[in-house]
Amino acid sequence: MIQNDIENQPDPVDSPVAGGEKDETERRSFLSRMSTAVMAFGLAAGYGMFATLIGWFMFPSGGGRKSWQYLANLAEFPKGSAMTYEAPSGQKAVVTRLADAGTVEDFIALSSICPHLGCAVHWESNKDRFFCPCHNGAFDSEGRPLEGPVKDANQSLSRYPLKVEKGLLFIEVDLQRLV
């Protein structure tokens, strides 16, 4: 009789409980593998984007698109005056009229950002110079350093190309932001 009871018991592999545990184990294993794969993909994408941004910063693309932008009418821009110009890319320049011949050589366009600390420079017509109030740096009308830390480091102001056409003054600037 005991032997009959043993023979009549269901096989543990074929029982619904044992099969459910096997399915549960397979499902957990599958979910574990999937969550690991999703996490690995997320990390790879995040670090990949970080590496891309570092690459863009370390190795910027060669020059952006440049364009000639209108500045002023020569008749309305007297000798000794200066104007500040901000390009579409955010670059700032100071354009000064040094002579009155009506040619492009009458003008100079220099960056209005001091190369020493990044402060804004302005034109002082009474002293015929560009001045940086942050550290008393001064530049001549051509953007060469005269005094202050910029003189010690021999840092000049960046220059922008200009052209005159039909009595109008134009400046060549980048159209896209650097960052």
- Asked, for residue 115, whether it belongs to a domain, the answer is yes
pLDDT value of residue 12: 53
Tell me 149's DSSP state.
Answer: H
Count Cβ neighbours within 10 Å for each residue of 119-132 and write b for 16 or more, e otherwise.
Answer: eebebeeeeebbbb
**Ordered per-residue pLDDT tens for the chain, 179 residues:** 555 555 555 555 555 555 567 788 888 888 889 999 999 999 999 898 988 888 887 776 655 678 899 999 988 888 888 888 888 878 888 888 888 888 889 898 988 888 888 888 888 878 888 888 888 889 888 889 999 888 888 888 889 999 999 989 999 988 775 54
Of 34, 58, 82, the position where a domain reaches its end is 58
Q: Which helix (H) or strand (E) holds 139?
A: strand 137-139
**Residues 26, 92 within the same domain:** no
**Residues 96, 167 within the same domain:** yes
Taking the complete model, does pTM exceed 0.85, yes or no?
A: no
**Residues 47, 102 within the same domain:** no
Total domains in the chain come to 2
pLDDT value of residue 162: 93
Please give the single-letter amino acid code of residue 86.
E
Task: Residue 17: give the domain boundaries.
Answer: 2-58
**Residues 84, 28 within the same domain:** no
- Asked, for residue 132, whether it belongs to a domain, the answer is yes
- Asked, for residue 179, whether it belongs to a domain, the answer is no
- Asked, for residue 120, whether it belongs to a domain, the answer is yes
User: Under 8 Å CB-to-CB from 147, ≥6 apart: which residues?
Assistant: 136, 137, 138
pLDDT value of residue 112: 86
